[in-house]
Structure 1
């Protein structure tokens, strides 16, 4: 996923033989993480052990040239519609008794927000030059 700042939010999964909407269908290999696209691709090529993989999402399409520098003829797919898939996964987890309260859900922040970084930058400037 395009993370702006010339970075991507990314995770690497292996597709298993489990049914499509079972949580085990995708087995995590790496991530979630935020990183520079070329570094992520290089690291994942090692993790893929020579397999090409499929690159999915708006970050993959945005940085297709970067991927192509590392992977000959990469398979790059646009960002899929996720709402329906997330709903199907939630139903499957509920059937298993793995549902959680909405209050128990927590966001996963991979980096600090731009607003926070900007605020700190302004504060540093004020400390250096109080007239600012």
Structure 2
């Protein structure tokens, strides 16, 4: 039984690494490039997609799915909603959620908002979801 678990876990980890983490890393690097070059629409779009993939990877590695997840006694699919994904990741993986975000020294004050992490995720989603980015 333990051998089956180890074999399955390694396979799951490889799939999550390749399809979610690796592509999320690419979105993250692209988002940083876009921010540095004042490509705001592309920055928010890539930031949201990167965070979505990281959150879905956390769910998958904790035995959950983003397509059939129990919420309030019902099954739901999160789609691209990082606000709902963020709330779903918190219980199985609280150690992945920072208590607060700290402004990097190289980021000028006008670009920083002091806000709870939940509000930051919501603002990021509002600025970079498919409805905003294509409007």
Flag whether TM exceeds 0.5 (same fold): no
Is the radius of gyration larger for structure 1 or structure 2? 1
More strand by share: 1
Structure with bigger helix share is 2
